[in-house]
């Protein structure tokens, strides 16, 4: 729970407030009406009154009464996720135990143990002390522990997060960045995995609004400008299909819906194309009202009619009818060539499938009643339980492993007997071996994929059939961690390595013990801790291991002092003063403070900071500071590829920073240019940069292939405006197709 603002300006009288609260409460009851049994209305009223009274003195950042937040969360649960009465009661009470005098016992007395357990789960999620080095990751781990107990906890938490994102406007900028990053890094993928596509899309769009405000506005504006033209095209595309479907006697709906701003932006980034070149700005949806036993057959018939009318792209067929996703999603997706030479994505599904696609988990269970087979959703939960029960790793590692293992898209692969296994995209033969059994994983020496021999690091693709080859002599090594993505494989490899390390470390322990006794110092925990800290290691096990493999020479110990039983390290020499400097192409070096980066809440001239290599910020970029252990402050761009992970996993280490104007220092950055290979093109570009714009070039590489050239130029600029002017000027040169700033490479 984050208390955030809902309305930037708030000035209602007490009477107006009461009316507003009652109006929201009645709207909630109207939405719940189809699900209310005779005694339920009374229970919901008790929960509402309990929450309203408990929160009566509390206000949100905007000044509005706090009770409006639980009411809004409850409405999202009912209207957008499709949850029922018990979840509504839990939503109304979700902040009471954490923020007010109400106890869990009070909740249990009034509503019983099931509701108390869910409220307890929601309280545990939020109740994390702020000093934890990886508090958000720890927080997320708690969410997952409750997921395996009752998935409604997660669904209510997602509703809570969605309402907080919708009302994020009045928060401070750094808080907006932290919450938005955490949302895009953890909560949006989780909503996707729960099958809540609409909520996932809205969370991503809202996060982008705060993380990439300029791009968000630009795409939103362009979507608005092209709306009429798009509607005309959709109608033209749909018309012949409608006629065919009506003639075929189908009961159906067909409509076009725009893609989300975030997904359009992702396409533009990944494919390095402009807005006008993103072909699938919308998807056409066909929803059939079919009897359960005829769903598949009718979806394929409709597919056949569509592909008779428009030519499909063979590699763009996605068949989730035969192989539903583990979150229950079923549909047929195809991309066809529509009028005016435009590619259009068409999604075909039944009403039942559509409800599962929009309401996810809640709808999945509604349809599951009476089904006997264990669903893929249940298998997914089972896998999470297994990993959580064996997990003792650092929380941040866990969060990263969880994302790659459980929140990624899946591939479907087969055992030699034809049993299907689901694995995350990017899985290797070794991941597959561990998914079968840990004992097979640790002894895996290779595999046969589709009857061909491959190495254990071989990346699998959907449809592969895999046979694992094992050997009793095989032992895992550190390299294995580089080519597995599943949390189970990583966890088992680390366990095996620890075991090996422990055996080697026993020898080191004996060497350290002899050395200390020889010096007259006692072998005890205090002295071992001193040595561990002195050699900058994380644990005594590491110390013993490094001694055993001869990476540490204990001869240095003769410099130590022995006071009674205690060992004291030698006093360090007076530390040398290191000044961090920026290279200036003019030849002079300037002190870091002259770069004039304002670090809020601190005197910036006393802070050593470095510019992150992953995104190379320059003045004018939207930036934040990140406190790195042992390295001081690192400055990242807010759209840096690592930003979401840093802000989501270590939000409390983020420091607000911004640039002050300074035209005396140059910063190294880079641009990538693609264009038609022509005589003198390099000359034109270098003349513009060095001659007209007077910018200093650090390095230039140009490669031409079959009439097209790609050039990477590293240059020094003073700020982002200068870089933008350069990009625009180069774009205007004849034959230049695209100019982009380096985003993720070390320039």
- 446 contacts 457 by C-beta, under 8 angstroms: no
Same domain, yes or no: 277 and 197:
no
Looking at the chain, the whole-number percentage of residues with pLDDT higher than 90 is 12
Report the mean per-residue pLDDT for the chain: 78
Distance CA 332, CA 309 (A): 17
Tell me the range of 123-127, 205-209, 362-366 where mean pLDDT is highest: 205-209
And the tokens for 501? Answer: 């390390």
Of the residues 211, 241, 274, which one is the last residue of a structural domain? 211
Q: Which of 126-130, 160-164, 512-516, 572-576 has the highest mean pLDDT?
A: 160-164
Output the DSSP codes for 80-142: IS---HHHHHHHHHTTHHHHSS--HHHHHHHH-HHHHHHHHHHHHHH---TT-TTHHHHHHHH
pLDDT reading at 155 higher than 80: yes
Tell me: the pLDDT tens digits for 172-199?
A: 887 888 888 888 887 888 888 777 888 9
Q: Is residue 499 annotated as a catalytic residue, yes or no?
A: no
- State the catalytic residue, choosing from 99, 467, 596, 677: 99
Residue 355 lies in a domain: yes
Closest CA to 274 of 727, 679, 744, 747: 727
Do 202 and 230 fall into the same domain? Answer: no
Of 13-22, 430-439, 715-724, highest mean pLDDT: 430-439
Lowest mean pLDDT among 216-220, 305-309, 544-548: 544-548
What is the distance in angstroms between the CA of the first residue and the CA of the last residue of the chain?
A: 40
Reported as a single tens digit per residue, the pLDDT across 730-741 is 888 888 888 888
Residues of the domain holding 113: 14-211
Which pTM was predicted? 0.66
The reply to whether 337 falls in a domain is yes
Helices (H), 565-707: 643-649, 681-686
Which structure tokens are listed for 674? 């693609």
Confidence at residue 288, expressed as pLDDT on a 0 to 100 scale:
93
Burial (CB < 10 A; 0-12, 13-18, 19+), residue 56, is: exposed
Distant-in-sequence, close-in-space partners of 525: CB < 8 Å, separation ≥ 6:
none
Say which residue, 38 or 594, is predicted with more confidence: 38
Looking at 316, 341, 365, which one is the last position of a domain?
365
Query: What local confidence, expressed as pLDDT, does residue 585 receive?
Result: 37
The residue-averaged pLDDT of 644-661 equals 73
Residue 111: exposure state from Cβ atoms within 10 A (0-12, 13-18, ≥19)? buried
Choose between 548 and 562: higher pLDDT: 548
Q: Which residues pair with 717 in a beta bridge?
A: 667
Does some domain include residue 443? no
Residues 499 and 616 grouped into a single domain: no
Residue 429: inside a domain, yes or no? no
Query: For residue range 416-442, what is the model confidence (pLDDT) as tens digits?
Result: 888 878 888 889 999 999 988 888 998
227 exposed, middle or buried (CB, 10 Å; 0-12, 13-18, 19+)? exposed
CA atoms 649, 650, 655, 660: torsion sign: negative
Instruction: Please indicate, yes or no, whether residues 100 and 231 belong to a single structural domain of this protein.
Output: no
**Cα separation of 195 and 151, whole Å?**
13
Task: Give pLDDT tens digits for 223-259.
Answer: 888 888 888 988 999 999 999 999 988 999 998 888 8
Q: Which residues contact 567 (CB under 8 A, 6 or more apart)?
A: 516, 521, 526, 527, 530, 531, 560, 561
Spatial CA neighbour of 667 closest among 559, 582, 558? 582
pLDDT tens digit sequence for 45-58: 899 888 888 888 88
Residue 689 has pLDDT above 60, yes or no: yes
Strand, helix or coil at 727?
helix
Looking at the structure, do residues 585 and 515 belong to the same domain, yes or no? no
CATH number of the domain that 311 lies in? 3.30.460.10
Total domains in the chain come to: 5
Which pLDDT band holds residue 384 (cuts at 50, 70, 90)? low
Residues 6+ apart with CB under 8 A from 713: 670, 671, 673, 685, 689, 697, 699, 700
Contacts 24+ apart (CB under 8 A), 728-731: 729/688, 729/692, 729/693, 730/671, 730/673, 730/685, 730/688, 730/689
Q: What is the mean pLDDT of residues 494-507?
A: 84
More confident residue, 664 or 421: 421
Per-residue confidence (pLDDT) for residue 2, from 0 to 100? 43
Residue 675: inside a domain, yes or no? Answer: yes
Confidence of residue 458 (pLDDT cuts 50, 70, 90): very high
Residue 635 maps to a domain: yes
> What are φ and ψ of residue 373, in 5° steps?
-75, 145
Q: Please say if the pLDDT value at position 499 is more than 50.
A: yes
Alpha-carbon distance of 720 to 718, in angstroms, equals: 7
- Tell me the β-bridge partners of 336: 312, 344
**Rounded Cα gap, residues 276 and 218, in angstroms:** 12
Query: Which helix or strand (DSSP H or E) is residue 566 part of?
Result: strand 566-568
HEC per residue, 685-741: HHHHHHHHCCCEEEEEEEEEECCEEEEEEEEEECCHHHHHHHHHHHHCCCCEEEEEE
Q: State the pLDDT confidence band at 503, using cuts at 50, 70 and 90.
A: confident
Strands 609-611 and 667-676: unpaired
Separation in Å, CA 540 to CA 23, 484, 527, 566:
62, 28, 10, 17
583: three-class secondary structure by DSSP: strand
Residues 6 or more apart whose Cβ sits within 8 Å of residue 409: 424, 425
61 and 204 co-located in one domain: yes
pLDDT of residue 149: 62
- Is 425 inside any structural domain? no
> 5: which 2 tokens?
């603002």
How much of the chain exceeds pLDDT 70, in percent? 80
- Domain termination residue (choose one: 166, 181, 211): 211
Which structure tokens are listed for 701? Answer: 């590489």
Q: How many CB atoms lie within 10 A of CB 63?
A: 15
Q: Which of the following is catalytic: 2, 40, 79, 98?
A: 98
Which of 211 and 388 is assigned the larger pLDDT?
211
> How far is it, in rounded angstroms, from Cα 691 to Cα 697?
11
Give every CB contact of residue 15 below 8 A, 6+ residues apart in sequence. none
At 296, give phi and psi (nearest 5°): -60, -50
Looking at residues 689-709, what average pLDDT do you find?
84
Q: What are the backbone angles phi and psi of residue 179, rounded to the nearest 5°?
A: -65, -40
691: left (phi over 0), alpha (psi -120 to 50) or beta: alpha
- Mean pLDDT within 70-86: 88
What single string gives the DSSP state of each residue in 193-246?
Answer: HTT-HHHHHHHHHHHHHHHSHHHHHHHHHHHHHTHHHHHHHHHHHHHHHHHHHH
Would you place residue 577 in the very low, low, confident or very high pLDDT band (cuts 50, 70, 90)?
very low
To the nearest 10 degrees (0 to 180), the angle between helices 85-93 and 113-126 is 40
Residues 673 and 738 sit within 8 Å (Cβ to Cβ)? yes
Structural domain includes residue 513: yes
Same domain, 61 and 161: yes
Q: Do residues 132 and 237 both lie within one domain?
A: no
Q: What is the CATH number of the domain that holds 73?
A: 1.10.3210.10
> Tell me, what's the pLDDT at 147?
58
User: What are the start-end ranges of the E strands in 299-407?
Assistant: 311-312, 318-319, 332-337, 343-350
Helix (H, G, I), strand (E, B) or coil at 165: helix
CA 587 to chain centre: 42
Can you tell me the distance from the alpha carbon of 297 to that of 294, in angstroms, rounded to the nearest whole number? 5
Lowest mean pLDDT among 74-83, 215-224, 459-468, 569-578: 569-578
Domain co-membership, 530 together with 590: no
Nearest Cα residue to 604 out of 636, 626, 633? 633
Q: Are residues 599 and 729 in the same domain?
A: no
Which one, of 725, 663, 735, 718, lies nearest residue 688 by Cα? 725
What is residue 438's DSSP assignment?
H
pLDDT at 744 over 60: no
Predicted pLDDT at 206: 93
With CA atoms as reference, report the closest residue to 154 among 115, 190, 114, 112. Answer: 190
Please indicate, yes or no, whether residues 89 and 112 belong to a single structural domain of this protein.
Answer: yes
Six token digits for residue 611? 């510019």
Q: Is 431 a catalytic residue?
A: no
Question: Which segment of 123-127, 291-295, 369-373 scores lowest on mean pLDDT?
Answer: 369-373
91 and 207 share one domain: yes
Confidence at 124, pLDDT banded by 50, 70, 90:
low
Structure-token pair, residue 654: 């983020």
Tokens for 167?
């009302």
| 3-state SS assignment for residue 268 | helix
């Amino acid at each position: 729970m984050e208390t955030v603002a809902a309305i930037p300006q708030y000035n209602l009288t007490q009477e107006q407030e009461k009316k507003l609260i009652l109006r929201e409460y009645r709207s909630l009851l109207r939405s719940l009406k189809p699900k209310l049994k005779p005694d339920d209305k009374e229970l919901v009223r008790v929960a509402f009154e309990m929450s309203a009274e408990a929160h009566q003195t509390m206000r949100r950042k905007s000044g509005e009464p706090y009770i409006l937040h639980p009411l809004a969360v409850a409405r999202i649960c009912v209207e957008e996720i499709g949850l029922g009465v018990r979840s509504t009661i839990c939503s109304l009470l979700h902040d009471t135990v954490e923020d007010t005098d109400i106890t869990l016992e009070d909740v249990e007395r009034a509503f019983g143990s099931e509701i108390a357990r869910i409220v307890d789960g929601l309280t545990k999620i939020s109740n994390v002390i702020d000093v934890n080095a990886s508090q958000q990751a720890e927080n997320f781990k708690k969410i997952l522990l409750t997921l395996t107990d009752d998935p409604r906890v997660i669904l209510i938490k997602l509703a809570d997060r969605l309402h907080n994102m919708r009302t994020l406007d009045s928060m401070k900028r750094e808080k907006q960045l932290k919450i938005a990053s955490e949302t895009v890094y953890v909560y949006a993928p989780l909503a996707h995995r729960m099958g809540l596509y609409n909520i996932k899309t809205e969370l991503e769009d809202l996060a982008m609004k705060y993380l990439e405000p300029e791009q968000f506005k630009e795409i939103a504006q362009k979507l608005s400008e092209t709306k009429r033209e798009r509607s005309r095209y959709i109608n033209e595309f749909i018309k012949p299909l409608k006629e065919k479907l009506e003639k075929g006697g189908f009961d159906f709906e067909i409509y076009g819906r725009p893609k989300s701003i975030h997904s359009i932006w992702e396409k533009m980034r990944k494919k390095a194309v402009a807005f006008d070149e993103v072909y699938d700005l919308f998807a056409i949806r066909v929803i059939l009202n079919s009897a359960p036993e005829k769903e598949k057959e009718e979806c394929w018939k409709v597919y056949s009619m569509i592909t008779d009318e428009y030519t499909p792209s063979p590699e763009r067929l996605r068949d989730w009818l035969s192989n539903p996703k583990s979150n229950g999603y079923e549909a047929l997706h195809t991309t066809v060539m529509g009028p005016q030479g435009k590619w259009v994505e068409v999604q075909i599904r039944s009403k039942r499938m559509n409800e599962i696609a929009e309401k996810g988990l809640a709808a999945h269970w509604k349809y599951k009643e009476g089904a006997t087979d264990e669903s893929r959703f249940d298998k997914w939960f089972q896998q999470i339980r297994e990993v959580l029960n064996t997990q003792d790793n650092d929380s941040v590692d866990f969060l990263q492993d969880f994302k790659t293992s459980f929140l990624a898209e899946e591939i479907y692969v087969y055992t030699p007997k034809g049993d299907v296994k689901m694995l995350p995209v990017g899985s290797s033969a070794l991941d597959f071996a561990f998914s079968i059994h840990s004992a097979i994983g640790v002894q895996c020496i290779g595999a046969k994929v589709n009857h061909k021999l491959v190495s254990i690091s071989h990346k699998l693709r959907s449809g592969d059939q895999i046979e694992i080859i094992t050997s009793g002599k095989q032992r895992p090594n550190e390299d294995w961690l580089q080519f597995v993505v599943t949390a189970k494989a990583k966890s088992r490899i680390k366990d095996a390595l620890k075991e090996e390390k422990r055996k080697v470390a026993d020898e080191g322990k004996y060497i350290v013990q002899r050395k200390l006794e020889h010096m007259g110092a006692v072998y005890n925990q205090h002295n071992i801790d001193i040595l561990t800290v002195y050699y900058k290691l994380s644990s005594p096990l590491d110390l013993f291991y490094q001694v055993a493999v001869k990476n540490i020479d204990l001869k240095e110990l003769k410099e130590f002092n022995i006071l009674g039983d205690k060992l004291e390290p030698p006093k360090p020499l007076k530390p040398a003063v290191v000044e961090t400097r920026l290279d200036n192409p003019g030849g002079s070096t300037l002190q870091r403070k002259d770069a004039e980066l304002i670090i809020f809440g601190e005197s910036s001239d006393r802070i050593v900071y470095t510019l992150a290599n992953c995104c190379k910020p320059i003045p004018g970029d939207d930036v934040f500071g990140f406190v790195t252990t042992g390295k001081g402050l690192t400055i990242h761009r807010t759209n840096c590829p690592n930003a979401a992970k840093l802000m989501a996993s270590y939000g409390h280490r983020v420091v607000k920073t911004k640039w002050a104007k300074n035209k005396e220092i140059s910063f190294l950055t880079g641009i990538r240019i693609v264009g038609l290979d022509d005589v003198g093109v390099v000359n034109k570009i270098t003349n513009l940069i060095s001659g007209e714009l007077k910018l200093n070039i650090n390095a230039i590489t140009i490669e031409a292939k079959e009439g097209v050239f790609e050039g990477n130029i590293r240059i020094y600029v003073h700020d982002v405006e200068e870089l933008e002017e350069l990009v625009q000027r180069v774009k205007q040169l004849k034959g230049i197709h695209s100019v982009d700033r380096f985003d993720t490479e070390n320039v």
